[in-house]
């Protein structure tokens, strides 16, 4: 367990008293310290000089001495070997002088480098001296510390010994003590120096031999000590740690050599010390008999036990030497007493006694409403007086509280709540009951029908208040309709009888009769139409009212008058039957249009009824005999909503087209109603919804006429803009691009943008500007009224339809019922995706009623011609418009046959447009040709159109030119003219690639060389802005060819004098070779002294200039960069493949789990009666999806056969991937992956339900 060794501190003899070894060593240490400082200063000064030398080192010339000497010899030989003109000889002499000067620079560099080497040697010598001084200082400090220690311990250095004691690391803390107190105490008590090696678990004791042994024994006592843990109950821990912990103090006094620590959180006691000592302390602790008991406390019992500022509970704890704790758990309080059993029982006994003495109880006594009112009169003065009298009767030592319970329930019985101590409750209750009984004795009750109660009360309570003043001192009277009773309270019997007689007379004069009535007729009966009837009733002494349920008329009067009043009232109700019809607020004016010829007057005259419109409720009231009102209601409903050969069609029109529909002073509407006799056309003042009513066939013809005029009407719209937006639009071609893209006329003003064109085109242009200003693109899908109504109903039942589109595309989809359209907002690309998904959903909801015909963008202008689309709409009765978001023409109709007919006509129109349009697509490198085709201010293209009678549309964004004409041969001729211009332009404008490193030489100083070339060849040569290494040569064809030959000749000569190495490189690796901002290529050029050209057009890297070896180094470095990047790309490909396989495995596992969970959910849904959603939106016609043949026992089924529409719909519902709205849907886009689909059940007819992993279910 322990290991100790003794070491001598020193072998020298004790110096004579006159010789102070410590002082001598201190002097020597001071000298060495000064030497160290001087040496360090020398080193620092030398480093400064060295840095200056390095910083000021001259730059070594690139060519070495041998090369320069050879050059001088060659030049000298050239100068002396032949006769030269004076100017050439001077040039050679200057070159020789320059080479000699460069050699002298080499000599200066070598001399400077020698000075640097000498300075470094001096610094190294000083550093070696410094290391020797440091070693001497360390040795002196070690001896000096030994001398000082011996002096402090009162002995000579020769008598110092060191003894080593091993100590387990985990016990070092015990030896050291808190903040080193234990080890310091041993040092002070014994007179030694103790050092602890915490890393190796060793303790070193230094001092004279006799005291070291004593110190070692004390340390070993600590190392032999053990810690023993004793688990105890929480009660023991709490009891020992309280303020009254006399028991714990006694245990510590009885065991002074043992440390006792109580760990409250762990319910553990740790005993530290010698095993025999700790066992004795353990016996003392385990002999304690601590118990705990708990009692619940309710309400005010907690305050009673605690006392004021805790005085009661503290006194009890101190009196019985126990721990008392009150805790609150889940709303209930508990008292816990901990201590010796006898003390705990005594404390609880006193607590119970204390609570019983202070317990408050309560009981209730039922009182009637009259007594309650009497007690509460005058702000409760009665109950306060009553409580005071009861308290005096009981005595002031007991508190009594009387409270009338507040119960607002209609049938609640009033009660008086008594609160007091238990011991006086019986006496208090007796006194209260006596008061109640006395009140009941002086009260009488009269039964009265509820209808007569108001007559007893009178208007504003006047009658009952006068009765309360009757007799001597008046009385309390309570009339209650619910119980049909009247109660009279008075202490005077005569007063009670007078009031009883008066009430009985009122009852006799107000007998009751009943007549049934409809709620709608009540207002007319009490209004102006019923005035004469009410006067007749008053003449015979009767009055009327309505019962609480508003189902009967209550007649009050004498019995002989009630029968006659009933006859008068029944006759009035029969002649004034009311029928109600709810109408839309927009249809209100239709009731009154036409004046005396309006539908209102027609119905009144024809059926002999009165028609009134309640604007606040949007309800029409028809008053008259029951049969007549029923017929009038039917006729009016047919007029407003259609039916029995009458059709009502509502559809939305563009806001700007309202004027074209209405006409000046309503002329256009009047003409429509004249052309289609019997049809009524109505446009609400503040709405864009047009309604057409009349015979079915005429209404459809009128709608076609309206749609045609709307489609061709030119409308306008304004967009307000800020000065910043105006400046931005003024400095860009946005206006031109948007106008061309939407086929509209756009005018920019300082404060607004004016857009004019066909309705849909104007809306598309406005959406583009909104996206530019806000970043949010908005698109619409217009609906017919019936479509809008069905969609609204479907979304009300299940709002997830649009939410799924939002989650998959990120665009917001909203049904705008007021505009009869679906609005899609968000990022433009997201809106397009959402719109494509929405079209599939609409086809699912309304099979074949929403269809699209794909149109290439180049045919937008011809296919989007408003007049031609209006002709198709008129011919088919469908709505037809160009949808630029879907790149299609959108067809909409409530009749699928009409939609199909429109699609056929559109396809024919499309085929015709394709024949009459030629599309020429240019590469991005030929974009310059578009400017040539247009010409200066459009001169070239105008001339082309004039000569060929064709239309030439230049789409710069798509690098496309569209040639269109009325006949195919004209299109061919126009295209030939365009090709001739392009061919000529290509010959008169050519491009030549020049290496980047050759560009400055080719251009020449101040452009001198390129200007000279251009003048010599009579052409224009200029550098292409976006391709800095390409030169453009323009001019007549033969001169351009000559200029090209001259440029290529110059380039050949330049390449011959600038030999280079060239390799091919992949396009995606060029950025890697360049580096960020070109830093890699610049660093490589600086390092090798070579020029590196990268040709992005031909995908090559060329290294030029410099020595051949430097070029090879540069090329190898480029190849190394390329090889490294290719290796990384290969590693990434391997990692991606591995990740792809892992994801595929996870998807397979998820699919299996999902299929299992969905199957379980379906079973639960079927068992619980959950609505089957698989048939919620089944189309009126079969979509045409069929199931592939295969193993019927398999859970995974792929749909591979069926109609095109069926496969498209099934793919949309089960696909977990986003679809591109621009893609054409066909059978090839339908996924056959079994991982996406699972069979989740079948119905009784054998129809299977397919479910995707997203939870969408389809019934086949």
* pLDDT attached to residue 13: 47
Mean pLDDT of 1183-1212: 46
- CA–CA separation, 291 and 322 (whole Å): 10
Mean pLDDT of 917-928: 81
Best-predicted range by mean pLDDT (112-126, 212-226, 417-431): 112-126
Q: How many C-beta atoms surround the C-beta of residue 807 within 10 A?
A: 10
* pLDDT attached to residue 557: 81
* pLDDT attached to residue 1227: 33
* pLDDT attached to residue 1174: 39
Q: If phi over 0 gives left and psi between -120 and 50 gives alpha, with beta otherwise, what is residue 488? A: beta
pLDDT tens-place string over residues 675-695: 888 788 888 777 777 888 888
Record the tokens describing residue 657, joined without a space.
């087209």
**Residue among 899, 791, 914, 908 at smallest CA distance from 852:** 899
- CA–CA separation, 264 and 243 (whole Å): 14
Mean pLDDT of 245-263: 76
Q: How many C-beta atoms surround the C-beta of residue 623 within 10 A?
A: 21
Using CA atoms, how far residue 527 sits from 222, 433, 519, 533, 540, in Å, is 110, 54, 14, 11, 20
In this structure, of 221-230, 622-631, 1020-1029, the range with the lowest mean pLDDT score is 221-230
* pLDDT attached to residue 312: 86
* pLDDT attached to residue 1033: 87
pLDDT at 602 over 70: yes
Label residue 63 exposed, middle or buried (CB < 10 Å: 0-12, 13-18, 19+): middle
- CA–CA separation, 563 and 570 (whole Å): 11
Q: Which residue has the higher pLDDT, 704 or 717?
A: 717
Categorize the per-residue pLDDT at 431 as very low, low, confident or very high, splitting at 50, 70 and 90. confident
- CA–CA separation, 1194 and 894 (whole Å): 41
Secondary structure element (H or E) that encloses residue 888, with its range = strand 888-892
* 3-class SS of residue 1051: helix
Mean pLDDT of 376-404: 81
* pLDDT attached to residue 1154: 57
Mean pLDDT of 573-582: 81
pLDDT tens-place string over residues 200-220: 788 888 887 778 788 787 777
pLDDT tens-place string over residues 41-72: 999 998 999 898 888 888 888 888 888 888 88
* pLDDT attached to residue 1219: 40
Q: 828-845 and 1204-1214 helices cross at what angle (nearest 10)?
A: 120
pLDDT at 1254 over 60: no
* pLDDT attached to residue 814: 92
* pLDDT attached to residue 643: 77
Tokens 């005993």 appear where?
Answer: 271
pLDDT at 482 over 50: yes
Mean pLDDT of 321-328: 85
* pLDDT attached to residue 599: 79
pLDDT at 824 over 90: yes
Q: How many C-beta atoms surround the C-beta of residue 1192 within 10 A?
A: 8
Half-sphere CA count of 482, side-chain side, radius 13 A: 6
Q: Which residue has the higher pLDDT, 1033 or 712?
A: 1033
* pLDDT attached to residue 831: 92
Secondary structure element (H or E) that encloses residue 113, with its range = helix 86-153
* pLDDT attached to residue 18: 52
Q: How many C-beta atoms surround the C-beta of residue 149 within 10 A?
A: 17
Instruction: Decide: pTM greater than 0.85.
Output: no
Mean pLDDT of 1013-1040: 83
Q: Which residue has the higher pLDDT, 274 or 1013?
A: 1013
Q: Which residue has the higher pLDDT, 933 or 1025?
A: 933
Record the tokens describing residue 933, joined without a space.
């085709």
* pLDDT attached to residue 1159: 56
Mean pLDDT of 220-243: 76
Q: Which residue has the higher pLDDT, 226 or 58?
A: 58
Categorize the per-residue pLDDT at 26 as very low, low, confident or very high, splitting at 50, 70 and 90. confident
* pLDDT attached to residue 679: 82
pLDDT at 896 over 60: yes
* 3-class SS of residue 424: helix
- CA–CA separation, 203 and 172 (whole Å): 9
- CA–CA separation, 712 and 654 (whole Å): 12
Mean pLDDT of 409-436: 80
pLDDT at 812 over 90: yes
**Percent over 70 (pLDDT), the chain:** 88
Mean pLDDT of 137-147: 80
In this structure, of 11-20, 748-757, 1105-1114, the range with the lowest mean pLDDT score is 11-20
Mean pLDDT of 814-829: 89
pLDDT tens-place string over residues 440-462: 888 888 888 877 888 888 888 88
Half-sphere CA count of 613, side-chain side, radius 13 A: 15
pLDDT at 779 over 90: yes
Label residue 483 exposed, middle or buried (CB < 10 Å: 0-12, 13-18, 19+): middle
* pLDDT attached to residue 257: 67
Mean pLDDT of 1153-1162: 56
**How are beta strands 1237-1242 and 511-516 bridged, if at all?**
unpaired
- CA–CA separation, 1174 and 1172 (whole Å): 6
* pLDDT attached to residue 1190: 41
* pLDDT attached to residue 845: 87
* pLDDT attached to residue 813: 92
Categorize the per-residue pLDDT at 811 as very low, low, confident or very high, splitting at 50, 70 and 90. very high
- CA–CA separation, 628 and 1204 (whole Å): 56
Contact 232, 268 (CB under 8 A): yes
Q: Which residue has the higher pLDDT, 1187 or 516?
A: 516
Average pLDDT, the chain: 79
Q: Which residue has the higher pLDDT, 1248 or 653?
A: 653
* pLDDT attached to residue 931: 85
pLDDT tens-place string over residues 160-179: 788 888 888 777 777 787 78
3-state helix, strand, coil in the chain (%, to 5): 55, 20, 25
Q: Which residue has the higher pLDDT, 1029 or 1219?
A: 1029
pLDDT at 1158 over 80: no
Half-sphere CA count of 229, side-chain side, radius 13 A: 5
Categorize the per-residue pLDDT at 184 as very low, low, confident or very high, splitting at 50, 70 and 90. confident
Contact 971, 964 (CB under 8 A): yes
């Amino acid at each position: 367990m322990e290991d100790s060794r003794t070491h001598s501190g020193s072998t020298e003899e004790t110096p004579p008293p006159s010789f102070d070894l410590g002082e001598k060593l201190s002097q020597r240490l001071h000298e060495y310290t000064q030497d160290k400082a001087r040496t360090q200063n020398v080193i620092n000064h030398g480093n400064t000089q060295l840095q200056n030398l390095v910083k000021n080192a001259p730059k070594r010339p690139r060519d070495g001495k041998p090369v320069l000497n050879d050059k001088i010899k060659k030049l000298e030989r050239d100068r002396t070997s032949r006769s030269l003109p004076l100017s050439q000889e001077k040039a050679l002499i200057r070159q020789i002088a320059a080479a000699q000067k460069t050699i002298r620079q080499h000599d200066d560099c070598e001399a400077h480098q020698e000075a640097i080497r000498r300075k470094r040697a001096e610094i190294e010598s000083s550093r070696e001296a410094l290391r020797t001084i440091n070693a001497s200082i360390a040795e002196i400090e070690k001896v000096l510390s030994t001398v000082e220690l011996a002096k402090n311990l009162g002995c000579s250095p020769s008598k110092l010994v060191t003894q080593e004691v091993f100590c387990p690391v985990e016990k070092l803390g015990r030896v050291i003590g808190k903040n080193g107190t234990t080890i310091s105490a041993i040092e002070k008590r014994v007179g030694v120096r103790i050092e602890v090696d915490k890393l190796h678990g060793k303790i070193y004791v230094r001092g004279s031999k006799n005291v070291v042994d004593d110190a070692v024994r004390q340390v070993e006592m600590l190392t032999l000590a053990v810690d023993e843990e004793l688990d105890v109950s929480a009660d023991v821990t709490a009891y020992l740690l309280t303020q009254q912990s006399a028991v714990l103090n006694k245990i510590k006094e009885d065991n002074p050599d043992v440390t006792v620590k109580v760990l409250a959180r762990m319910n553990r006691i740790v005993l530290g010390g010698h095993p025999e000592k700790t066992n004795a302390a353990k016996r003392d602790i385990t002999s304690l008999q601590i118990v705990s008991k708990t009692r619940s406390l309710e309400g005010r019992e907690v305050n009673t036990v605690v006392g004021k500022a805790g005085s009661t509970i503290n006194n009890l704890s101190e009196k019985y030497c126990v721990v008392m704790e009150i805790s609150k758990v889940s709303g209930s309080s508990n008292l816990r007493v901990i201590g010796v059993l006898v003390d705990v029982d005594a404390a609880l006994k006193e607590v119970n006694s204390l609570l019983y003495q202070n317990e408050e109880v309560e009981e209730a006594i039922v009182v009637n409403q009259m007594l309650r009112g009497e007690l509460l009169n005058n702000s409760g003065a009665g109950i306060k007086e009553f409580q005071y009298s009861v308290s005096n009767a009981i005595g002031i030592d007991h508190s009594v509280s009387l409270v009338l319970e507040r119960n607002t329930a209609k049938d609640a019985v009033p009660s008086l709540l008594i609160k007091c101590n238990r011991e006086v409750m019986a006496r208090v209750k007796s006194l209260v009951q006596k008061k109640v009984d006395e009140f009941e004795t002086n009260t009488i009750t009269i039964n009265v029908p509820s209808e007569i109660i108001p007559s007893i009360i009178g208007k504003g309570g006047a009658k009952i208040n006068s009765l309360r003043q009757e007799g001597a001192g008046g009385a309390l009277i309570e009339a209650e309709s619910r119980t049909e009773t009247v109660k009279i309270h008075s202490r005077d019997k005569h007063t009670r009888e007078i009031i009883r007689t008066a009430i009985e007379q009122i009852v006799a004069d107000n007998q009751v009769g009943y007549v049934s009535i409809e709620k709608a007729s009540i207002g007319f009966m009490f209004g102006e139409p019923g005035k004469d009837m009410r006067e007749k009733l008053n003449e015979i002494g009767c009055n009327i009212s309505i019962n609480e349920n508003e189902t009967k008329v209550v007649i009050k009067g004498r019995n002989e008058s009630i029968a006659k009043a009933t006859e008068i009232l029944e006759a009035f109700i029969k002649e004034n039957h009311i029928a109600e019809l709810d109408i839309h607020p927009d249809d209100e004016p239709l009731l009154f249009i036409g004046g005396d010829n309006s539908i209102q007057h027609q119905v009144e005259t024809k059926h002999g009824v009165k028609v009134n419109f309640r604007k606040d409720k949007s309800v029409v009231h028809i008053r008259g005999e029951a049969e007549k009102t029923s017929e009038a209601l039917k006729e009016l409903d047919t007029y407003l909503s259609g039916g029995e050969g009458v059709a009502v069609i509502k559809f939305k029109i563009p806001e700007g087209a309202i004027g074209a529909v209405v006409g000046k002073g309503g002329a256009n509407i009047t003409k429509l109603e004249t052309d289609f006799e019997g049809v009524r056309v109505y446009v609400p003042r503040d709405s864009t919804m047009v309604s057409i009513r009349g015979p079915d066939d005429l209404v459809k013809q009128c709608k076609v006429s309206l749609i045609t005029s709307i489609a061709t009407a030119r409308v306008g719209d304004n967009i307000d803009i800020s000065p910043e937006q105006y400046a931005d639009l003024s400095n860009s071609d946005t206006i031109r691009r948007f106008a061309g893209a939407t086929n509209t006329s756009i005018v920019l003003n300082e404060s607004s943008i004016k857009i004019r064109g066909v309705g849909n085109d104007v809306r598309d242009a406005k959406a583009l500007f909104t996206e530019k200003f806000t970043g949010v693109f908005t698109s619409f899908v217009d609906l017919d009224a019936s479509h809008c109504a069905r969609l609204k109903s479907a979304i009300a039942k299940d709002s997830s339809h649009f939410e799924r589109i939002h989650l998959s595309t990120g665009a917001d989809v909203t049904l705008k019922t007021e505009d009869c359209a679906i609005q899609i907002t968000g990022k433009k690309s997201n809106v397009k995706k959402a719109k494509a998904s929405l079209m599939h959903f609409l086809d699912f909801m309304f099979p074949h009623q929403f269809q699209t015909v794909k149109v290439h963008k180049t045919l937008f202008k011809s296919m989007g011609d408003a007049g031609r689309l209006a002709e198709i709409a008129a011919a088919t009765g469908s709505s037809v418009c160009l949808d630029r978001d879907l790149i299609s023409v959108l067809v909409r109709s409530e009749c699928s046959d009409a939609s199909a007919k429109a699609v056929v006509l559109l396809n024919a129109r499309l085929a015709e447009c394709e024949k009459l349009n030629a599309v020429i697509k240019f590469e991005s490198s030929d974009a310059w040709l578009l400017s040539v085709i247009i010409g200066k201010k459009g001169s070239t293209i105008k001339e082309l159109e004039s000569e060929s009678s064709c239309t030439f549309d230049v789409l710069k964004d798509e690098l496309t030119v569209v040639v269109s004409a009325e006949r195919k041969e004209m299109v061919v001729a126009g295209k030939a003219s365009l090709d001739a211009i392009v061919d000529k332009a290509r010959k008169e404008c050519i491009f030549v690639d020049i290496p980047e490193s050759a560009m400055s030489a080719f251009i020449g100083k101040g452009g001198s060389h390129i200007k000279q070339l251009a003048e010599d060849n009579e052409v224009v040569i200029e550098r292409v802005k976006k391709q800095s290494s390409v030169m453009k040569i323009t001019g007549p064809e033969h001169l351009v060819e000559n200029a090209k030959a001259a440029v290529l000749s110059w380039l050949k000569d330049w390449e011959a004098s600038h030999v280079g190495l060239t390799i091919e490189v992949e396009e995606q690796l060029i950025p890697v070779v360049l580096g960020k901002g070109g830093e890699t290529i610049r660093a490589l050029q600086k390092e090798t002294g070579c020029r590196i050209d990268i040709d992005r057009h031909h995908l090559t890297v060329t290294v030029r200039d410099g020595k051949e070896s430097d070029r090879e180094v540069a090329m190898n470095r480029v190849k190394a960069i390329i090889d490294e990047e290719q290796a990384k790309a290969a590693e990434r490909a391997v990692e991606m493949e591995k990740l792809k396989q892992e994801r595929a495995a996870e998807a397979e596992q998820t699919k299996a789990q999902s299929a299992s969970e969905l199957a379980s959910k379906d079973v639960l849904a079927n068992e619980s009666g959950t609505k089957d959603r698989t048939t919620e939106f089944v189309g009126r016609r079969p979509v045409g999806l069929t199931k592939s043949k295969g193993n019927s026992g398999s859970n995974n089924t792929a749909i591979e056969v069926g109609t095109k529409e069926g496969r498209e719909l099934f793919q949309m519902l089960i696909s977990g991937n986003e679809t591109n709205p621009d893609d054409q849907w066909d059978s090839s886009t339908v996924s056959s992956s079994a991982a996406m689909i699972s069979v989740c059940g079948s119905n009784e007819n054998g129809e299977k339900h397919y479910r995707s992993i997203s939870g969408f279910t389809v019934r086949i």
